[in-house]
Amino acid sequence: MANVRLDFSAPNLPDLAKLHIYEGTTPTGVFSEIEEVADIGDYPDYISYYTTQNAASVDNWFAIEWEVTGGAFLGLSQAVPGNAQTLVGKIVERVMLRDPSLDELIVTQEAETAVSMYFNTNTPLSVLASDTSLQILAGLVLLTIVMSSLTLVVAQGSSEDYTAGLVSQKSGTNMLQANRAAMEALLKRANELLGLNYTLVMLLEDIDPTGTGARSSIEWDQSRLLVTIE
């Protein structure tokens, strides 16, 4: 038997009862159940990872399925390899190290969104940490911090004190405005690491306003998109 750690994001449901773990030799199955976990925590603080000791091999693929009270199942998850960490899991690990006050469930969801957007994929858990560079990882970590912190700011409302990552804000109605500079600085650095900064310059094609090719009293300023007619 082999030990395999699985990182996941539990659904935001109040009636989760059990976690079922499956193993297969290929990413598409067939999968066999290897463990049933009843100690999953309580809503909304469900477990976000579990290490099974019943794996046949760390080189196999693993999937999970949640069972709710009453015995209904929510469906099999996307399979992940047992011998490698997903990029989403690595991002969550680093974000929580930088700010343990963040909600790990929210961080996981935002990490999945960041990976999905950057790699243009609908299956972010299929992207492994080994598939990318340390620079890209750092950029996605910062991007996830920004996205998670903004979610926390909105959830806290406009009349409470809060701390979100590198940002601390007293109560008031201008929370988002007060933290705009800090968030923009983090976002700018994330974009630099991810190579997403660019400048686009657009110029109007030179035209003859009269249609005759002759000089006239009509002038235009391309830099201001301004036309003056005398």
Task: Kindly provide the residue ranges of all beta strands, DSSP E only, lying in 149-225, ordered along the sequence.
Answer: 162-164, 167-169, 219-221
Hunting for tokens 């011998």 — which residue is that?
83
Phi, psi of 13 (to 5 degrees): -125, 140
Tokens standing for residue 120 = 């243009």
> Which of the four pLDDT bands, split at 50, 70 and 90, describes residue 116?
very high
Per-residue pLDDT tens for 139-174?
999 999 999 888 666 555 544 555 555 555 554 445
pLDDT of residue 55: 96
Helical H runs in 42-179? Answer: 87-98, 104-119, 134-156, 175-178
pLDDT of residue 41: 94
Count, residues in the chain:
230
Structural domains of the chain, with CATH: 2-81 (2.60.40.10), 87-194 (no CATH)
Nearest to 112 by CA among 84, 144, 149, 135: 144
Alpha-carbon span 94 to 30, nearest angstrom: 33
Residue 65: beta bridge partners?
A: 20
Q: Which amino acid would we find at residue 182?
A: A
Per-residue pLDDT tens for 58-77?
999 999 999 999 999 999 98
Percent of the chain with pLDDT over 70: 73
Average pLDDT, the chain: 81
pLDDT of residue 45: 86
Q: Given a cut of 90, is residue 83 above it in pLDDT? A: no
